[in-house]
Every structure is written in structure tokens, then in C-alpha cells.
Amino acid sequence: LAAVELRGVTVRYRDTVALSGLNLSVARGRTVALLGPSGSGKSTALKVIAGFEQPAAGQVLLAGKDVTALAPAKRGVGVVVQSYALFPHLSIQQNVAFGLKGRGLSRQQLRERVAEALAVVHMEKYTKRYPAELSGGQQQRIAIARALAIKPPVLLLDEPLSALDAQLRQQMLAELQELRRELPDTAMIYVTHDQQEALALADDIAVMREARLVDMDVTERLYHQP
């Protein structure tokens, strides 16, 4: 049973066909890197899974359940985008707790969940700080913690390192590898332009071009030249 499945998903923006009958399936615990030129539909594929865009045709399934009509907050999907997108007026504690609201957790449980998520990204000391007081790399770690706090079975990452400088990117890549080992059951889809990131993180590589999936294979097979 796939953790995520897109069945014949088409998305249009006025004149643009952003996705054309896309089929994509990701098993539990698997990490798929989504590669392809700018404008090929990678971000749109993530938005449709998260529920930020509605398909004109096709279905989105999570663990076999059709969620096409379900609101984003009800899907339990974790999302990290390239430019952190933290709420500037909220503390780190409040930012990470944001997605946990309305789940009937006590204040104590909420604090524990936030602490747990921050520990994964080595930021547990920063609960009282505000986003503007943190570096870009630290803010991106908080954004990852916020996505992890809901314990999502599916984690979507849209070029999470692209706003960082080269040295920080290298360091965060190692941290993402560690994160993947700590979440063996989580299905991840990782959009990137960077082949090195794809090789370092992905079990499978999917390649998009012009709103379609043109190739998908295990990473070793796609990159190993005999």
C-alpha cells in the first residue's frame, strides 16, 4: 500500500497545464527525489499532495484513502518550502506548535511534542526566540521541526536548501540524511535541482518534464554507469 499516490492528476492554471495526467506512487519509508527543469510541474505535484492546489482531474490518495477533497490541515502532510515561511510575530515555540492546534493536546503534551521536534534538528534551546533572531540555516531547521511536529507519515520538501549558502547546504544535507535515518517509516518527496542532493538522500529518482513524469528508477540504477 503506497503512502502517497497520484492517479491521473491534471492541474491547470488558466492557459498552463502544470500537471498532465500524473501518476506517482511512493511507498512508506521511501524517499523520492523529484528532478526536472524549472516549470516542469514539481512544485505543483507537491501542492496537490498537500492540498494547496485542487486537481482538474485525477485523485490523490494517502495510505490508500482518497483525500482529493480534503482540506490541507486534515491531510496530516508535513511541508517544507525553500524560504522557511516562519511566522515572524510568533516565537519558535509557537511556530513549531502551530500545526498541533486543535488536536486536543494539553499544554504539557504540546510542549513535549515541540521539544521533541526541535531536538531532531538540534534547536531545542531556541523556543523563546523569534525567527528574525536566527540565521537562515537555523530558520530552515525550525521550518523542518514545524513539519515534523505533527508526526506526518508523508513529508514534502520543496528545495529546502536552495536559499542557503554552499557550506551551510553541505551541513544541512548531512542533517537531512540523519533525519531520514531517524524517520524510517516516513515517505518523503524531495524536490531539487541538485543531483548531489538527490544522490545523497533518495532511494528513487523521478524525473519530470513538461507536466509529465518521464522517468523513475532506483537511484543506483539511474546514476550507475557500467
The backbone torsions φ and ψ at residue 143, rounded to the nearest 5 degrees and listed phi first, read -60, -40
Nearer to ligand ADP, 114 or 156 (CB): 156
* 106 scored as a contact of ligand ADP (CB under 6 A): no
* 36 scored as a contact of ligand ADP (CB under 6 A): yes
CB of 46 to ligand ADP, least distance (A): 8
Using CB under 6 A, count the residues that bind ligand ADP: 12
User: Helix, strand, coil proportions of the chain in percent (round to 5)?
Assistant: 35, 30, 35
Stretch that binds ligand ADP, among 2-10, 34-42, 93-101, 112-120 (CB under 6 A): 34-42
CB of 93 to ligand ADP, least distance (A): 27
CB of 104 to ligand ADP, least distance (A): 31
Bridge-based pairing of strands 187-191 and 31-35 is: parallel
Here's the x/- map for ligand ADP, 8-27, by CB under 6 A: it reads as -----x--x-x---------
Name beta bridge partners: 42.
none
Closest by CA to 46, choosing from 87, 70, 11, is 11
The footprint of ligand ADP on residues 142-171 (CB under 6 A) is 158
Nearer to ligand ADP, 17 or 110 (CB): 17
Q: Helix (H, G, I), strand (E, B), or coil: what is residue 122?
A: coil
CB atoms closer than 10 angstroms to residue 170? 13
Stretch that binds ligand ADP, among 23-31, 39-47, 59-67, 136-144 (CB under 6 A): 39-47
What is d(CA 45, CA 21) in angstroms, rounded to the nearest whole number? 11
Nearer to ligand ADP, 51 or 113 (CB): 51
CB of 126 to ligand ADP, least distance (A): 26
**C-alpha torsion 203→207→208→213, nearest 10:** -80
Reported as type and span, the H/E element at residue 144 is helix 136-149
Reported as type and span, the H/E element at residue 221 is helix 219-223
Distances (CA, A) of 79 to 128, 145, 153, 187, 197: 23, 10, 11, 12, 18
The footprint of ligand ADP on residues 44-73 (CB under 6 A) is 44
The backbone torsions φ and ψ at residue 75, rounded to the nearest 5 degrees and listed phi first, read -90, -20
* 204 scored as a contact of ligand ADP (CB under 6 A): no
Q: Helix (H, G, I), strand (E, B), or coil: what is residue 191?
A: strand
* 39 scored as a contact of ligand ADP (CB under 6 A): yes
Nearer to ligand ADP, 39 or 76 (CB): 39
CB of 73 to ligand ADP, least distance (A): 18
For ligand ADP, the binding residues (CB under 6 A) are 13, 16, 18, 36, 38-44, 158
